[in-house]
Structures are given as structure tokens and as C-alpha cells.
Amino acid sequence: MEVDKSRKIISLGIEGSANKIGVGIVDQDGTIYSNPRTTFITPPGTGFMPKETAEHHRAKVLTIIKQALEEAKMTLDDITVISYTKGPGMAGPLSVGAIVARTLSQLYNKPIVGVNHCIGHIEMGRVVTKSENPTILYVSGGNTQVIAYSQNRYRIFGETLDIAVGNCLDRFARIINLSNDPSPGHNIEQMAKLGSRYIELPYIVKGMDMSFSGMLTHIEELVTGKKTSQTKKQQQEQSGKMQIEETYSKEDLCYSLQETIFAMLVETTERAMAHCNSREVLLVGGVGCNVRLQQMMGIMAGERGGSVCAMDDRYCIDNGAMIAYAGLLEYKFKGQTGMRLEECTFTQRFRTDEVDVIWRND
């Protein structure tokens, strides 16, 4: 690819906040030159731990950077600015990206920008789908937020009161011993397609907020046989008759869990849209790849005369390009300067609404 290097700002972004380490190279138009990544996959029934994940990232990060540069046919001298994920995320994995970014910045004398992970998703989503001012549903393993922009901040209108939706799905996959390859959510989605019987599950929506931990406990008890989905009344009616031991197929459980959880997500998003008079929805984050969620969101938006901008699943999942792009925006609108080295830390807690969105003025 021929690149006019004198005019363009080229940003290299390093993402490593969870179980994926990725490096992306983009310019200010959102063109992605390369975006390789690898995922730390654990055996079925287990999740990824910070220490092991960080070890995985340390082992892979340099190879991925080389790969990204080769695919983009560039060297580090062509890069204008280096971006990395400052947070939120797991401390161990985050430290890998931050240390590598700082080292490269020092070695090659490049400006450096630390990026909020959520802002990365949102800005990449906006540039890919070309939607101006959507209501954003950000759903992933660590985050569940309904976001809308107002006065230079992405403001959080609704979010989970306990665990994230992706976390709920991942942990459910562990309960029924589903594979973590390529991702638990993907395997649940495939299995749900085979399910047909809807099992009633708790449905917890509080205004624009929602809760998933009770649902997880409930479904765990269904799997282990501590509980049935019948009400007490139904059980009383049945007592006297022969007791039927109820068991639930994995397929039906996956189907019912997805239908219930996604209905909660769509409902809260709709409430935020009604509250903000918005017509567009942007779906980002790992769970946003789920085709059924996209479909449900599409129906809801259609009923309101709006539309849904679902992202390409290559960008929905954590990746380096989105970090590169968000870092580029920050760099460009801060008068082409990076952060001071002592500011280039990382943090586990970094809220979406803490970031001053200097690149938007609507």
C-alpha cells in the first residue's frame, strides 16, 4: 500500500487489557493498515487469570508488533504516535502493553498516548459505521454500559449493577463445560441455535440499569438440579402426581439465557434512546458480535424508526486498531503532542465518563 507519509498521522496501538494482545496501525481517516492479535485460551471449565495472561502477553507482544509492521509494510520510523491501553483492565496484562509502549517511545523518540479502552471501542465504532451521534451499547466480558454523548463526555446512562454480561456468559459456559475456543460466547451462540424450549429465568431491570449475578446463580442451580423453573404453585399442583425429575438440555439453557439477557440489554438501550431522543444504536464490545443480539437490536430500532450500526466483528472484539485510532484523536486534538512519560501509567479503574472528549464539539 502506498502511503503519503508526510501528510498522514500514523498511529500504532497496543491493546492488552484482558485475554487478547493486539497491535493495530491506523491513520486519521480510520484506514486500518494491519491489526493482528492473539488470544490466551484456557481449557474448558476455567477462566483466564491475570498472572498467566500477562505471561502470555509478554511472550507474544514483540512478535505481534513485528507482524503488524510487516503487514502494513512499515517500519517504526513511519509511525507518528504510539498508543496503548491505559485502562480499565487487569493490572498484569495492562502492564505489558504500557511497558512496551513506553520502551518503544523512548527508543524511537515518538510521542506516546494512553487510551481509555471503552473510548477506543466507541471511536472505532463511530469511524467504521460512520454514525454521527448514536446511543452506544457497550457489552463485553468486563463492561455493560449504555452510553450517550453530551457536552464533551461519553455519559453512562445505564450499566450493570454487578457483573458484566460477558462475564455472566463466560461463567455460564464454564458451568456447562463449554470450550473457550474461539470464545465462550461464540460457543453459547452456536448451541443456542439448537435450543427451542424457553425456560423462564430471572429478568432484572432497574430503570436503565440491570443485574446479572442473580441470573447466573439461578441458572447454576438449574444445571446442578437444586432448583426447577417451576413456581411453587405449579409444584403443589404436581405433588400427589408422580414427581417428574426435570432436567434441562444445554441447548435450551443457552437459548433461554441468551434470549433473557439480550432482552434486558435491548430494553435498557431502548429506554436510553427514548430518554435521549436518539434514533441510532451502536453496538460495540465482544458480546456485540453475537448475531442474535444484533438481530434483536435491529428489530427494536426498526420499531422506533431508527437503525442499528453493528460493527464488523473484527473490530467489536478487543484489538490494537481501536486503541491506535483513539490515541490518534487525542494526539491530533491536543496540538500534536503526546503525554509526559510520567503520566503514562496504567490503571484497573478508569471510567468512560472520566475522559474529556476534546475531538467532538457537538
Which phi and psi angles does 18 have, rounded to 5°? -135, -130
Could you say whether residue 323 binds another protein (CB under 8 A)?
no
Binding test (CB under 8 A) with another protein, winner from 143, 180, 183, 278:
143
**Which of 182, 207, 214, 225 contacts another protein by CB under 8 A?**
207
Distance CA 135, CA 272 (A): 8
In the bound state with another protein, the residue whose beta carbon lies nearer, of 291 and 299, is 299
25 binds another protein (CB under 8 A): no
446511543: which residue's cell? 135
Alpha carbon distance 310, 287 (integer Å): 11
Note whether 291 binds another protein by CB under 8 A.
no
260 binds another protein (CB under 8 A): yes
Query: Distance from CA of residue 327 to its chain's centroid?
Result: 18
Q: Does 266 bind another protein (CB under 8 A)?
A: yes
285 is in an annotated binding site: no
Residue with cell string 490466551: 40
225 binds another protein (CB under 8 A): no
Q: Is 322 in the site for another protein (CB under 8 A)?
A: no
The answer to whether the annotation marks 77 as part of a ligand binding site is no
The percent of the chain in helix, strand and coil, each rounded to the nearest 5, is 45, 20, 35
- Contacting range for another protein; rule: CB under 8 A; set: 1-9, 29-37, 330-338, 344-352: 344-352
For residue 52, with 0-12 CB atoms within 10 Å meaning exposed, 13-18 middle and 19 or more buried, which class applies? middle
Q: Indicate the residue type of 241.
A: K
CA dist 86 → 41, 269, 287, 351 (Å): 23, 27, 22, 11
Three-state DSSP class for 224? helix
Q: Which is nearer to another protein, 96 or 300 (CB)?
A: 300
Is residue 341 at the binding interface for another protein, with CB under 8 A as the rule? no
What DSSP string describes 123-174? HHHHHHHT-SS-EEEEESSS-EEEEEEETTEEEEEEEBSSS-HHHHHHHHHH
Out of 297, 328, 329, 344, the residue judged to bind another protein by CB under 8 A: 297
Cα(71)–Cα(332) distance, integer angstroms: 25
Cis peptide preceding 134, ω within 30 of 0: no
Least separation in angstroms between CB 160 and another protein: 7
Give residue 300's Cα distance to chain centre: 21
Q: Does residue 88 interact with another protein by CB under 8 A?
A: yes
Residue with cell 515518538: 110
# residues near another protein by CB under 8 A: 58
Q: Is 185 annotated as belonging to a binding site?
A: yes
Contact pattern for another protein over residues 90 through 129, marking x by CB under 8 A: x--------------------------x------------
> Sign of torsion, CA 226 228 232 236?
negative
Q: Does 41 interact with another protein (rule: CB under 8 A)?
A: no
Q: Is 253 in the site for another protein (CB under 8 A)?
A: no
- List residues binding another protein (CB under 8 A): 17-18, 88-90, 117, 140-143, 148, 150-151, 153, 155-162, 164, 166, 198, 200, 203, 205-209, 259-260, 263, 266-267, 270-271, 273-276, 285-286, 295-297, 299-300, 303-304, 318, 348-351, 353
Which residues are annotated binding-site positions for a divalent metal cation? 117, 121, 138, 318
Binding-site residue positions for substrate: 138-142, 170, 185, 189, 290
Could you list the residues known to form a binding site, using ranges.
Answer: 117, 121, 138-142, 170, 185, 189, 290, 318
